[in-house]
Amino acid sequence: MKKLILLIITLFTLNQVSPSQDPQGPPSGGRPGAQQAQDRIIEFGTKNISLVFRVSARDGRLYQAYFGSRLENTDQLMQTRDAGHLAYATFGTDNLFEPAVRATHNDGNPSLELKFVDQFIETSDGKSNVTLSKILLRDPVYPFEVTLNFKTYYNEDVIEQWAEIRHDEKKPVTIFNYASSMVHFDAERYWLTQFHGDWAEEMKMKESELTPGIRILDSKLGTRAHMYQTPVFLLSLNEKSDENKGEVIAGTLGWSGNFRFLFEVDEKGSLRVISGINPFASEYSLEPGRVFKTPSMIYTWSAAGKGQASRNLHLWARKYGVLDGTGSRLTLLNNWESTGFNFDEKKLTGILDETKKMGLDLFLLDDGWFANKYPRSNDRAGLGDWQENRAKLPNGLGYLVKEADARGVKFGIWIEPEMVNPKSELYETHPDWILKLPNRPEHYYRNQLVLDLTNPKVQEFVYNIVDGMLTANPGIAFIKWDCNRMMTNAYSVYLKDRQSHLYIDYVNCLYGVLDKLRQKYPRLPVMLCSGGGGRVDYGALRYFTEFWASDNTDPVERIYMQWGYSYFFPAISVCNHVTSWGKQSLKFRTDVAMMGKMGYDIEVSGMTENELKFSQNAVASYKRLSDVIWHGDLFRLVSPYDENRAVLMYVNDSKSKALLFGYTLNSGYGESFNRVKLQGLDPAKTYKVQEINVSNEGRRPMISESGRTFTGDYLMKAGLNVGSAQPLTSVVYEISE
């Protein structure tokens, strides 16, 4: 009876939406006029994009009618016979391809039907740059509904999309698929660029053509989004795009756990891209009245190649995606590469002196400062026991904060609060706080296990580690939050019979802790680290000001990694440190680190006089020019994947200042390079080109145009000489109006 009443209410609601529709009527679009008028168009737009949906009067379903270059008049879409592709395809009725959502109802019925109910719009930022729109879909028989959310960022040409799933059935409903977005394309061919790797090999780029069938990019690591595949992709339509040409979509999922991008080319050559949490081993039992909110899929579209797509995402990220993305960052000296676990108070105060001497803002104390019963002298013990190690730091963190302050530098600290070594007091006291399978041996990665963040007591513990430390030492000005392992053999005592919730609940609970911390400490800079770049995603970056891109700091390999990250993440968020990795000159290493958020992780006391002087100048130059790197537009000019060099530049808003970075990689004897045409400058302006970071150590480019003056027009048409016959050389040009 209840179901019958619901059915009547639903049909009534549908009628409200489109009073003239006739569910039994002929297919829409058959005859211009009466029948077509019954369909309804819903349009979302940004400056250059239109995303258009059509509600079919014939079946009440929602279809994606168009996505791409902004349409002036979307009503014309009604003239096509075909309503488009199902906007959020279900499973169980007549959809033969991969669904966006799949559920089994409380009576065992494994099918889902979703019909359009209503659309709401709320403009959220008052300046109408950001608009949040919702489309409500409901099953005509079961009290099960999905709200599709679209947040459009007008000036940035970015769409953020997520879904909210809820029901009012009598008992829990199991949901098996729960995509954040499903977007369709109808192109001749599709070129997918994926970014993959491993520890110390992050963000390798590979492009390939999509063929009929399904292609999946995903991860199943639990505590981190990636290691082998990164939750980002570029999709070029019709033909391969390059930096300045071609239709391209850049997409990324804001989720710090298992993700899945599924690309399915059907028998007609249409492509559906389904993005969201990886449903693998994660069926979710949804209680009546509870909302299952998916993470955001963030994407942009560009008709002018990958460069524009990246700039759209960067602009969006600085304003909306990364904590304090429009602000500034602290340059720092980290001690991980120089000391490892082997330090004491005396050594650290020496490093504080060096921080000051280098002109850096902050000293970041890395791993190894804590634990007493099982001292953290290596990575086999102590994780979880967050008290200062009395032998290394007899006067506690407070002393170091004070000593830093006395030198006019700030103090930052490393933590890894989600983890535990079996050799720790935490493990001894709370064995039930740890993710591990019953009846199976423990499985270690870096000798550690993951804490069960789904347990509220563990959440409180993690919150208190940070809050306790900051309360006791209010002078702490920076945190590096690490996460050195993925989940294996994972089982939560707390979740009992809901083990398939673990991957999802873990991440949401982590966000819960971070939310709470951010309420109390809204602006404290925190670096996101996950044994290198394993957790780089916009779900986490809401809470973090920057991320550690990789433990691999070999500058040549870094050029490729930083190149990869640059497609999706703005330079202000990418931490690059000058270290002793690689055999390249200090200049080359410095120039590579400078193209993002620069820091140092090197033994300063081991530098020669010359090297110290060079570094001090480089830090001063970086501070003078970092605004252009952090907030300017990026133009990738020559890809290291195409040539034996890499060249990129940043240009500030008013086009009065630019910085160009050029790296020669493995040029052969006598190899010559074409001039590089600059981008993003004002053709009418006159610019002085001045080389900075000049060093007599690293060999200079063959032909230097430093000190000369050119018009923007000339620089963008004729270009500059960037590149040398000498491998592993680099040049940085400051280009000023």
CA distance 671 to 137: 61
| DSSP secondary structure, 321-365, as one string | ISTTTTS----EEE-HHHHTT---HHHHHHHHHHHHHHT-SEEEE
Q: Considering only 15-23, 420-428, 527-535, 691-699, which stretch makes contact with ligand DGJ by CB under 6 A? A: 527-535
Please state the closest distance from residue 545 (CB atom) to ligand DGJ, in A.
16
Q: Residue 333 burial (CB < 10 Å; 0-12/13-18/19+)?
A: buried
Nearer to ligand DGJ, 250 or 477 (CB): 477
Per-residue contact flags (x/-) with ligand DGJ for residues 373 to 412, judged by CB under 6 A: ----------------------------------------
- Smallest distance, Å, CB 475 to ligand DGJ? 21
Cβ nearer to ligand DGJ, comparing 59 with 551? 551
Nearer to ligand DGJ, 38 or 334 (CB): 334
Tokens linked to 683 = 């053709």
Report CA-CA distances (Å) from 694 to 277, 621, 662, 684: 47, 11, 13, 29
Task: Let me know: does 507 contact 539? Beta carbons within 8 Å.
Answer: yes
| 312 versus 550: smaller Cβ distance to ligand DGJ | 550
**Alpha carbons 136 and 118: distance in angstroms, whole number:** 5
Residue of 139, 156, 505, 551 that binds ligand DGJ (CB under 6 A): 551
Listed in sequence order, the DSSP H helices in 521-585 are 555-566
What are the residues facing 119 on neighbouring strands? 135
| Interacting residue with ligand DGJ among 68, 222, 321, 531 (CB under 6 A) | 531
**Least Cβ distance, residue 549 to ligand DGJ (angstroms):** 10
User: Shortest gap between Cβ of 279 and ligand DGJ (angstroms)?
Assistant: 30
Which residue, 383 or 647, is less far from ligand DGJ as judged by CB?
383
Our CB check for ligand DGJ shows the closer of 366 and 505 to be 366
Site size for ligand DGJ (CB under 6 A): 11
Whichever of 175 and 400 has its CB closer to ligand DGJ, that residue is: 400
Task: Pick the stretch among 107-115, 136-144, 436-444, 528-536 that binds ligand DGJ (CB under 6 A).
Answer: 528-536
Helices then strands, each counted (H, E), the chain: 13, 37
Residue in the structure block whose two tokens are 């002036």: 72
- Beta-bridge partners for 68: 50
Cβ at position 283, least distance to ligand DGJ in Å: 33
734 binds ligand DGJ (CB under 6 A): no
482, 505, 611, 633: which one binds ligand DGJ (CB under 6 A): 482
Provide, rounded to whole angstroms, the least separation between the CB of residue 555 and ligand DGJ. Answer: 16
CA distance 89 to 349: 61
On the 0-12 / 13-18 / 19+ scale of CB atoms within 10 A, 127 is exposed
Which lies closer to ligand DGJ via its Cβ, residue 532 or residue 712?
Answer: 532
Binding ligand DGJ by CB under 6 A: which of 247, 366, 705, 734?
A: 366
Site string for ligand DGJ, 251-270 (x = CB under 6 A): --------------------
Stretch that binds ligand DGJ, among 231-239, 253-261, 419-427, 524-532 (CB under 6 A): 524-532
User: How many other C-beta atoms are found inside a 10 Å radius of the C-beta of residue 474?
Assistant: 10
Tell me the residue type at 399.
Y
Residue 262 vs 529, nearer CB to ligand DGJ: 529
Is the separation of the CB atoms in 601 and 355 below 8 Å? no
CA distances from 381 to 26, 426, 443, 490, 631 (A): 71, 11, 15, 21, 41
Which is nearer to ligand DGJ, 211 or 342 (by Cβ)? 342
CA distance 305 to 312: 11
Closer residue to ligand DGJ, CB minimum distance, 226 or 657: 226
Give dist(CA 89, CA 110) in Å, integer.
Answer: 14
Q: Nearest approach, Cβ of 532 to ligand DGJ (angstroms)?
A: 5
What residues between 28 and 47 interact with ligand DGJ by CB under 6 A?
Answer: none
- Specify the residue, 403 or 482, whose C-beta has the smaller distance to ligand DGJ: 482
Among 67, 506, 548, 560, binds ligand DGJ (CB under 6 A): 548
> Exactly one of 284, 414, 481, 673 binds ligand DGJ (CB under 6 A); which one?
414
Give the CB-nearest residue to ligand DGJ.
Answer: 367
Least separation in angstroms between CB 336 and ligand DGJ: 5
Q: How far apart, in whole angstroms, are the C-alpha atoms of residue 578 and residue 561?
A: 15
Q: Write down the least CB distance from residue 371 to ligand DGJ, Å.
A: 13
Note whether 532 binds ligand DGJ by CB under 6 A: yes
Angle between helices 609-631 and 586-594 (to 10 degrees): 20
CB of residue 5 vs ligand DGJ: minimum separation in angstroms?
58
Start-to-end Cα distance in the chain: 76
Contact window for ligand DGJ (CB under 6 A) among 121-129, 264-272, 525-533, 557-565: 525-533
Residue among 331, 484, 579, 664 that touches ligand DGJ (CB under 6 A):
484
Residues 99, 580: Cα–Cα separation, whole Å? 50
| Minimum CB–partner distance for residue 332 and ligand DGJ (Å) | 12
Nearer to ligand DGJ, 531 or 723 (CB): 531
CB nearer to ligand DGJ: give 337 or 354.
Answer: 337
What is the smallest separation between the CB atom of 307 and ligand DGJ, expressed in angstroms? 30
Among 530, 594, 539, 529, which Cα is nearest to 562's? 594
Give the three-state DSSP class for 2. Answer: helix
Q: Shortest distance, CB of residue 551 to ligand DGJ, whole angstroms?
A: 5
- When the beta carbons of 233 and 565 are compared against ligand DGJ, the nearer one is 565
CB of 623 to ligand DGJ, least distance (A): 23
Structure tokens at 449: 């296990």
Return the number of the residue (53 or 336) whose C-beta is nearest ligand DGJ: 336
Is the Cβ–Cβ distance between 651 and 682 less than 8 Å? no
CA-closest candidate to residue 317, choices 32, 683, 572, 585:
572
In terms of CB distance, is 243 or 367 closer to ligand DGJ?
367
Burial class (CB in 10 A: 0-12, 13-18, 19+), 532: buried
Give the DSSP letter of residue 680. S
Minimum distance, C-beta of residue 501 to ligand DGJ, in the bound complex (Å)? 28
- Reference 453, options 414, 385, 505; nearest CA is 505
Radius of gyration of the chain measured on its C-alpha atoms: 27
What is the closest distance, in whole angstroms, from the C-beta atom of residue 291 to ligand DGJ in the complex? 35
Which of positions 319-348 make contact with ligand DGJ (CB under 6 A)? 336
Q: Shortest gap between Cβ of 2 and ligand DGJ (angstroms)?
A: 55
Q: Which of 151, 145, 146 is nearest to 122 (CA)?
A: 151
Alpha helices (H) along 368-420: 396-406
Listed in sequence order, the residues at least 6 apart from 466 whose beta carbon sits closer than 8 Å to its beta carbon are 415, 417, 479, 517, 521
Would you say 139 or 482 has its CB closer to ligand DGJ? 482
Q: How far is CA 211 from the centre of its chain?
A: 27
Phi, psi for residue 502 in degrees, rounded to 5:
-55, -50
Query: Are the beta carbons of 51 and 159 closer than 8 angstroms?
Result: yes
Residue 624, classed as helix, strand or coil, is helix
Q: Which window, 44-52, 179-187, 526-534, 583-591, contacts ligand DGJ (CB under 6 A)?
A: 526-534
Indicate whether 367 belongs to the interface with ligand DGJ (CB under 6 A). yes
Residues lying near ligand DGJ in the complex (CB under 6 A) are found at 336, 366-367, 414, 482, 484, 529, 531-532, 548, 551
